[in-house]
Amino acid sequence: MRTRSGILAAATVSAAALLATACSAASTTSGNTTAASTATITAIGAENEYANVIQQIGGKYVQVSAIMSNPNTDPHTFEASPAVAREIANASLIVQNGVGYDTWATDIENAAPDNGRKIINVQQLLGLPDSTPNPHLWYAPTTMPKVATAIANDLAAIQPAHGAYFKANAAAFTASLTAWNQAIAAFKAAHPDVPVATTEPVADYMLQAVGADNLTPWAFQADIMNGTDPAPQDVAIERSLFTQHKVKVFLYNQQVTDTLTDSFISLAHASGIPVVGVYETMPTPGYDYQSWMSAEVSALNKAVTDKVSTEHL
């Protein structure tokens, strides 16, 4: 079974080794924020869902990069490279998740300080403590409207002449989430308290929003998320959800599977339980944040209504 804990420790060491590189890059880019007031704003989303929202709001006035953008990799095991350090050192705006999900970004930012750089830490923006158990904040319907507003405000601070443009785009973005919110409300009304099982808490905030009852023990979800072996009693409880047909659908993280999670996928299929694969970062190409979130709810609805597995968006 793959573990994340050892890899995360290595990633922390690797990030620390990049600090000198980032500092060197920063020394050659002093005044980058001043330049940004008359040129294209260089922005970074630590995760590609945040990069996508920056692009929608900044439009023609931003050049956006996403650091974590491969939907076939596990974001929890990401290791920063010298190239990433240089990107961060040169950015005028950075949006990162927080809650321990992208500490490598904070390490590099601290090593390449720039008083003019705008940093949006979504955890801090939402006022969440470091002990927040589920870091997948973008799945909560209330998260991105606040992020969009913060992005617009920071872009406007960098380029005041385009402030109205940024704020109009943020308002349009928030309005475009209506279809997703309506789908959530419709599902909640049609399937109140529908019982589900999961491997880890990737989509838990969305499941809470649609009113689903997640019967998978939290300890099991946390262990899978953190790459540790779940307790035998939690494994037994998870198995019983399928063998005793206690749930209507099973959701798993398509980006992180191993022999244990594969065994539950097989057991769900064998038990006639529809399986839904969710993504930890936005699948590309073909999606923006809004269409991705809507597709996740649509897949869940199809599984519950039509009893059809939707393991790939």
Report the C-alpha gap between 260 and 273 in whole angstroms: 17
DSSP-based three-state secondary structure for 198 = strand
What residues make up the domain containing 124? 5-176
277 has which bridge partners?
252
Res. 24: pLDDT tops 80: no
Task: Let me know whether 87 and 201 are in one domain.
Answer: no
Structural domain count of the chain: 2
Tell me the residue type at 175. A
User: Which domain-ending residue is among 159, 176, 193?
Assistant: 176
Task: Let me know whether 272 and 132 are in one domain.
Answer: no
* pLDDT classification of 77: cutoffs 50, 70, 90: low
Instruction: Flag whether 311 is in a domain.
Output: no
> Residue 256 has what pLDDT?
86
Task: Let me know whether 183 and 172 are in one domain.
Answer: no
Instruction: Flag whether 106 is in a domain.
Output: yes
Report the C-alpha gap between 141 and 177 in whole angstroms: 8
Task: Let me know whether 82 and 132 are in one domain.
Answer: yes
What are 144-188's pLDDT values in tens digits? 999 999 999 999 999 999 999 999 999 999 999 999 999 999 999
Task: Let me know whether 143 and 268 are in one domain.
Answer: no
User: Which domain-ending residue is among 176, 195, 227?
Assistant: 176
> Residue 71 has what pLDDT?
61
Residue 310 is classified by DSSP as B
Task: Let me know whether 148 and 184 are in one domain.
Answer: no
Sequence-ordered list of residues with C-beta below 8 angstroms from that of 130, at least 6 positions apart, any chain: 99, 100, 123
User: Which domain-ending residue is among 176, 203, 231?
Assistant: 176
Which of 134, 139, 18 shows the shortest CA–CA distance to 76? 134
> Residue 70 has what pLDDT?
67
HSE (CB half, 13 Å, CA atoms) of 207?
A: 25
Q: Which two tokens stand for residue 296?
A: 């996740």
> Residue 136 has what pLDDT?
97
> Residue 38 has what pLDDT?
60
- Other beta carbons within 10 angstroms of residue 137's beta carbon come to 24
Task: Let me know whether 25 and 170 are in one domain.
Answer: yes
Task: Let me know whether 199 and 160 are in one domain.
Answer: no
What are 243-260's pLDDT values in tens digits? 999 999 999 999 889 999
Instruction: Flag whether 166 is in a domain.
Output: yes
Task: Let me know whether 144 and 275 are in one domain.
Answer: no
Q: pTM higher than 0.85, yes or no?
A: yes
Task: Let me know whether 76 and 183 are in one domain.
Answer: no
What CATH number is associated with residue 133? 3.40.50.1980
